[in-house]
Structure 1
């Protein structure tokens, strides 16, 4: 696979990007598609909203547990084989979810679906980064950013359309034709795995996996329970938080001992301030983005009395704006570096959030749409360069671990953001005050992103091939 001298991506790489993004998009869409169908599923299975919430929580927990193993598994089995396995597992679980006969079976099948997504999500970053190389990491991560930013929005829109015209089963059936195309494409365009001497491959850090995945899953569970009960100081939240902290502390002790088996995630990575800044910013982006996506549909439904489909469609300009901005931001970061772009993007994003802190019942629908677009487009100039920076700050053999860390923290940030927003909305004196408070929380999150942006890498050094091209 080659890349053209004028900087364009060659045909083979374009095909690979298209196939991999198609497969990866499904897992990200499925993270939010069920959100608009909670009431429908509760009525269909004659159960409570609390029970139905596990359809989403189980998916997220399984995804979180699977991510740390992927970094090791890609070295053991190869990226192509692992990608095809994860995609096949996701499709089979989608079919099973559509055929679920009660809420317990649906939750079980969604857990399996989350395991498949937990393989695909970090592997998506690894495949694209390794195919693009450091010189074009920003550009390809910009394309990846389209999926990360617009995927959740698309999930809300697709969920609304499906429930408006079809039965709930089609929230899962819709994955099948797309997945089969992605599966066939992966067989053709993904490069064959070259595992070399298998005797040299590292052993799986079984103890680390047994501690790290469940530790993060416990924290995600705690945040989900906080969102469900609209409180933090209850045993349903405090017990998993305490357990998660203890388990993760145990992993820290285990990882720093320097045993012969390499840890599933090397904590020495965080000694690199640029890497620490990169993954921290992506955690904050997950927190702010998912918090905003949680607030806006509720705002449209509660203060403007709109339906789920209309609320989803009003988010479409946000999704379109980020989809256009992400590739541009990625391309610019390859030339200018992520630091300046991220700082400018965060500063402009604050203006969009500031607009959203002022919306109310009598506000024209134009203003929340404009505010959301400014917020999303500007934050794209943070997200794409930041993801590209990850692959410039790590040597190639640490990219799988770095991808795992990035995805885990991004998911954890999303769970924390939703939990905090839910608490603010349910403890405020009125709906309007709750929305204002929620967006001030998002504003504070973006301020932290602006501060952390100073630690990102500056303008990239020209690579030898770029120097020879003049």
Structure 2
């Protein structure tokens, strides 16, 4: 089941990271300014945010297997259409189709595997689920650079086709048929919540994406969408707390300490992860003079470290609990970022690559621990809401991290042109990254201290018998 979901998800993860190296080429080939082409990424990201809250309701209506196949088919269609795009506007529209499908797929993947695990071996399950997010930063920029060196930008989207086709076939073959029974009451769509939460989240994210180093958060192009987003999100929160039936996203899940503390840590982890993903390639290109492909290759040690951390963090989380793993991991993320706060134009690349590898291990563990902790002690029907809440928290944290660090970086770089002057500006931005990550360390103490006990052997045997019986029927 895990392999089935990972194969389909790889297309989504690669598509998120692979396009970052192609924006300049797209602007040239489609004869559009970079400010317009930027919407190829921004439009995709906004569509993801709009779709995430719909995943739980759609699963209750269609069942997990059918929804996964529908979403993966939509992503396949969006990929083919993006490859056939003839203008910048058409490409942006087709990227939105991709984003709507990808926004449903990622929380659904977490939900299906956590529901199948039934609360056992959460650390190992999370380690498996996060394999695509570890491979994306490793292979995405490198794959994008290789494709652009051998073919045109349309192949950035055509590369998704085999992942989607194989993923659809595997899902039809391997995922359990969990469609609702015909006589089972169908969940009603919370239309009011949809009209409040989805546009509000999109406006909030759009406002953060408009931050620049000259005016920071004080400009109208930032403040207006931020306020326009916060108002409906506040309205949705009031609506969800007072609604008698199930809202689009059950914000009352925050009464669980595991969900509240995990979401907070994933927000701060998103700042550290996505903020550094913006800083590090810029440092290697602007200060060290690396090409986009060269910068992607230099970042491989961090991705390899994150991949290595999957098994270690999952195993230790099941043994000692998410609190201890997160505490050590966030402390190491902060400390392994410190060397970059001292960088100059002549800093040894070997030293930086070693620091990146250590940082990747720590960052991988720092993501796994709060992700797994969010599901500790939850009922089966609560897992979709927890998946959506934690996913949104991490994505908003990433948007905030990029916005804040862009302001800090641009204000410290100013009109600098020499490598040493540019390196000094990056030093300030990396120190802020260290501080934001260090702020998460004491919050790790709020996570559950011990893993949930494994179900007794007789219970497991009974569950196996029941599952076998249901499969036979």
Counterparts of 1:32-431 in structure 2 under 5 Å?
32-196=17-181, 198-227=183-212, 231-259=216-244, 261-429=245-413, 430-431=421-422
SS in 2 for 1:232: coil
Structure 2, gaps ≥5 residues long: 414-420, 461-473
Deviations 1:195-219 (A, max 9, x none): 2365423211111011111111111
Q: Distance in 1 between matches of 2:214 and 2:457?
A: 55
- CA RMSD in angstroms comes to 1.7
Q: Residue 333 of structure 1 contacts residue 385 of structure 1 at CA under 8 Å; is this kept in 2?
A: yes
**Larger CA deviation: 190-199 vs 133-142:** 190-199
Q: Residue 333 of structure 2 contacts residue 362 of structure 2 at CA under 8 Å; is this kept in 1?
A: yes
SS in 2 for 1:457: coil
Q: Aligned pair in 2 of structure 1 residues 421, 197: CA closer, same or farther (>3 Å)? A: same
Among candidates 441, 445, 451, match of residue 442 of structure 2 = 451
Q: Aligned pair in 2 of structure 1 residues 229, 46: CA closer, same or farther (>3 Å)? A: farther
SS in 2 for 1:226: coil
**Larger CA deviation: 100-109 vs 312-321:** 312-321
Q: Distance in 2 between matches of 1:457 and 1:467?
A: 26
Report deviation, 1:468. Answer: 8.7
Report the counterpart of residue 426 of structure 2 in structure 1. 435
Q: Residue 18 of structure 2 contacts residue 156 of structure 2 at CA under 8 Å; is this kept in 1?
A: yes
Q: Distance in 2 between matches of 1:380 and 1:348?
A: 11
Q: Distance in 2 between matches of 1:84 and 1:343?
A: 38
Q: Residue 20 of structure 1 contacts residue 182 of structure 1 at CA under 8 Å; is this kept in 2?
A: yes
Q: Distance in 1 between matches of 2:452 and 2:98?
A: 41
Q: Distance in 2 between matches of 1:401 and 1:98?
A: 34
Q: Aligned pair in 2 of structure 1 residues 229, 74: CA closer, same or farther (>3 Å)? A: farther
Aligned residue-pair number: 453
TM-score, L = length of structure 2: 0.92
Report deviation, 1:145. Answer: 2.1
Q: Distance in 2 between matches of 1:216 and 1:367?
A: 40
SS in 1 for 2:120: helix
Report deviation, 1:76. Answer: 1.1
Q: Aligned pair in 2 of structure 1 residues 467, 321: CA closer, same or farther (>3 Å)? A: farther
Structure 1, gaps ≥5 residues long: 1-15
**Larger CA deviation: 333-342 vs 142-151:** 142-151
**Larger CA deviation: 355-364 vs 379-388:** 379-388
Q: Distance in 1 between matches of 2:168 and 2:256?
A: 37
Q: Residue 377 of structure 2 contacts residue 452 of structure 2 at CA under 8 Å; is this kept in 1?
A: no
Report deviation, 1:161. Answer: 1.4
Q: Residue 306 of structure 2 contacts residue 365 of structure 2 at CA under 8 Å; is this kept in 1?
A: no
TM-score, L = length of structure 1: 0.93
Q: Distance in 2 between matches of 1:103 and 1:364?
A: 41
Q: Residue 95 of structure 1 contacts residue 172 of structure 1 at CA under 8 Å; is this kept in 2?
A: yes
Report deviation, 1:284. Answer: 1.4
Q: Distance in 1 between matches of 2:99 and 2:213?
A: 20
Report deviation, 1:273. Answer: 2.1
